[in-house]
């Protein structure tokens, strides 16, 4: 079955938004736990997710 035009874009946007939400949550949890290493890892993941979202015009709120 062919994919409807725009469907893949919508799925990509949803996946990017989910990735950003998860990264924000991980960063918040790491900061709350006082874990410097996990905070750095989570911050890097969030930066990467936001960069990709911006590059593809995805609104992350």
pLDDT tens digits, 6-46: 666 789 999 999 999 999 999 999 999 999 999 999 999 99
Q: What is the pLDDT of residue 2?
A: 52
Residue 32, in any domain of the structure: yes
Residue 61, in any domain of the structure: no
42 near 30, Cβ under 8 Å? yes
- Indicate whether 49 pLDDT > 50: yes
Q: How far is it, in rounded angstroms, from Cα 42 to Cα 30?
A: 7
| Token duo for residue 12 | 């990509």
Instruction: State the pLDDT confidence band at 5, using cuts at 50, 70 and 90.
Output: low
Residue 19 per-residue DSSP state: H
| Total of domains in the chain | 1
Residue 20, in any domain of the structure: yes
Residue 5, in any domain of the structure: no
61 near 28, Cβ under 8 Å? no
Look at the block and give the residue holding tokens 């994919």: 3
């Amino acid at each position: 079955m062919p994919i409807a035009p725009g469907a893949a874009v919508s799925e990509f946007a949803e996946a990017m938004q989910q990735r950003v939400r998860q990264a924000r949550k991980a960063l918040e949890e790491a900061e709350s736990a006082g874990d410097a290493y996990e905070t750095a890892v989570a911050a890097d993941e969030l930066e990467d997710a936001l960069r990709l979202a911006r590059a593809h015009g995805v609104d992350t709120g």
